[in-house]
Structure 1
Amino acid sequence: MRGKVWAAVTQAFKMPMSLIRRMISNLISRVLMSTLPSPKMSAQTITDCNRRKMVVGLGNPGMNGSRHSVGMAVLTTLAERLGAPDSWRSDRQVSGEVIVTQLQDIQLVLLRPKLLMNINGVSVAKAASKYLISPEHIFLIHDELDKPLGKFGIKHGGSARGHNGVRSCVDCLHTDVMPRLRVGIGRPSGKTSVDRYVLGRFSQEEQNVLDSVMKQSVDVLLTYITDSQPQTSPAEGRRASRKNKSRTPSPPQDTTEEQKQS
């Protein structure tokens, strides 16, 4: 018995640290997901569900101004645009802070998880359960290493592309259909590690660029939310995007297109 335990411990130390971190995150997520909020159902509730959507700013709580929490910064800008900057309230049931507001005929839930990035998905899944929001109506805002600072774009679901916060959401919601607003932060130069880079803060010059980008990205996101219809796959999302694009001169929303700060 001792030999088996020792073998397991030895094998664990041979695993890549990234894999160990993911295993720990998955374990914590399972524990936290053991009790999901149970909303009260009614005919009116079911009707309202069809007009309810959620926008989530992924990030680390208490790390405002860091590159990895740029999703939360954009969400704050969105709350200001909707006239509800001071309406945040803490909700223990969803392990986060929420605003419930109105956008045309859409009831919009804004969510700031109060859990670490690697387990943001727990907060998202709890909020989705409480407010009865389907995954295709959940919009994730997050930082993107593969886009330079000054660029952003809409992605219609699909893989997490290495982003731990998105991966957590995919794992907890058991689907990858959630559309995303990816805000570029660029990659580190020199020998700076990615972990250190994403947890670092923007310089004043970078912040000036980001301020402009956040305003533009919110414009695109609001257009996307009000125009979008439920999609069952990334491919359907791209087809709908091309259809909408041919009808109106709305900003580019295809997964291969980007918006750039002018």
Structure 2
Amino acid sequence: MTKDTLLSKICRFLSLFFKKLLSFFTMRRLLMRVMNRVLLSEPFSPAMGAEAEIHTQGRRKMVVGLGNTGMEGTRHSVGMAVLGALAARLGVADRWRGDRQVSGEVIVSEVQQTRVVLLRPKLLMNINGVAVAKAAGKYGVQPEDVLLVHDELDKPLGKMVIKHGGSARGHNGVRSCVDCLETDVMLRLRVGIGRPSGKTSVERHVLSRFSSEEQKVLDSVLTQSVDIILSQLCPEDSQQSSSSSSSSSSSSPAGGRQAAQKRKERERSASPAQDSASAQS
């Protein structure tokens, strides 16, 4: 009888514990949604002058580097690093300008006759979606033409994955974008940062900087991430390149473009980056 009573108490305790834990995460998510809504309620003026011109010249696309403002260079802000590399490749790295209306830094450029907005939110990761939704509204970009670049714990450093829509998979920055845009159709480039080793917490891991050895791998990752993004921005161009290239180019930009055109998730792992990542393990 005593054993049954003790077991019953333990069960009640565990049940209460998990209910409170679930309630905590539910309240935290609810709080983030409330913050998103409050920040999105702030009015802003329509685009004027050169900014308004983007609304009249064909379809617009937007590439967003998710991260934490003031914490550039950390694993959690690798999306910002990729966007910086993209701006450098396009020759517009000196054109970043702060835009208070969208709570971020913006570049409006053109890639193969496609108007493209580059956005680096100046908000914390959990509310990055506010900047994304405001920029999409200001520059007339549809959610399906938004490409989110963000870190991915479940992939090792050296691997990049293109994902077409779907759930946030536990990423708070992506969840904020889904909530603010009210859809999950956005394209995502998930850049692997790997999980922490030993007793290092996930939070400490994502907020830390890359080691000197990891930095060597990261340089290759940034180059290939930019290749993938450009292939998504100009799919027609990439089809022509793909047809004239050899069929063995699985790790080349053309190979990635062909897979993206079929709208299937594809893993991109460059040999130098993957070899370096393997050497660390």
Match of 2:84 among 40, 53, 76: 76
1:157-203 Cα shifts (integer Å, max 9, x gaps): 11111111011101100111111111100111122111111111110
State the distance in 1 between where 2:28 and 2:244 align.
45
**What is the 5 A alignment of 1:155-170?**
155-170=163-178
Task: Work out which of the residue numbers 255, 269, 272 in structure 2 matches 1:251.
Answer: 255
Q: 1:128 to 1:85 in 2, by over 3 A?
A: same
- What is aligned with 2:30? 23
Cα distance, 1:248–1:78 mapped onto 2, change above 3 Å: same
What residue number does 2:114 align with? 106
Matches of 1:40 and 1:194, distance apart in 2? 40
Residues 40/148 of structure 1: CA separation in 2 closer, same or farther (3 Å cut): closer
Shift of 1:46: 5.1
Find out whether 1:143 has 2:147 as its counterpart. Answer: no
The RMSD of aligned alpha carbons is: 2.7
Q: Distance in 2 between matches of 1:138 and 1:198?
A: 24
The answer to whether 1:260 aligns with 2:270 is yes
CA contact (8 A) 1:39 1:132 kept: no
Paired position in structure 2 for 1:33: 40
Q: Which stretch shows the higher mean deviation, 14-23 or 183-192?
A: 14-23
> What is the aligned partner in structure 2 of residue 153 from structure 1?
161
Q: Percent identity?
A: 62
Amino acid at match of 2:155: K
- Per the normalisation by structure 2, the TM-score is 0.77
Greater fraction of residues in helix:
2
Q: 1:62 to 1:45 in 2, by over 3 A?
A: closer
Give the Cα–Cα distance (whole angstroms) in 2 for the partners of residues 96 and 40 of structure 1.
Answer: 15
Greater Rg, structure 1 or structure 2?
Answer: 2
SS at match of 1:251: helix
Q: Distance in 1 between matches of 2:196 and 2:244?
A: 38
Q: 1:36 to 1:159 in 2, by over 3 A?
A: farther
2:102 aligned residue (69, 94, 105):
94
1:91-240 equivalences under 5 Å are 91-227=99-235
Report the Cα distance in structure 1 between the residues aligned to 2:94 and 2:241, rounded to whole angstroms.
34
Q: TM-score, normalised by structure 1?
A: 0.83
Distance 1:204 1:172, change over 3 A: same
Kindly indicate whether the alpha-carbon contact (under 8 Å) linking 2:55 and 2:139 is maintained by their aligned counterparts in 1: no
Deviation at 1:246, TM superposition (A): 7.7
Relative distance call for 1:39 and 1:256 in structure 2 (3 A) is: same
Distance 1:244 1:191 in 2: 49
Supply the distance in 2 between the matched residues of 1:45 and 1:70 (Cα, whole angstroms): 28
Q: Name the residue aligned to 1:231.
A: none
Distance 1:115 1:248, change over 3 A: farther
How many residue pairs match? The answer is 239
SS at match of 1:99: strand
Classify 1:31/1:67 alpha carbon distance in 2 versus 1 (closer, same or farther; 3 Å): same
Does the residue aligned with 1:170 lie in a helix, a strand or coil?
A: helix
Provide closer, same or farther for how the CA distance between residues 244 and 119 of structure 1 changes in structure 2, counting only shifts above 3 A: farther
- Separation of aligned partners in 2, 1:171 and 1:244: 37
Alpha-carbon distance between aligned partners in 1 of 2:266 and 2:116, rounded to the nearest angstrom: 27
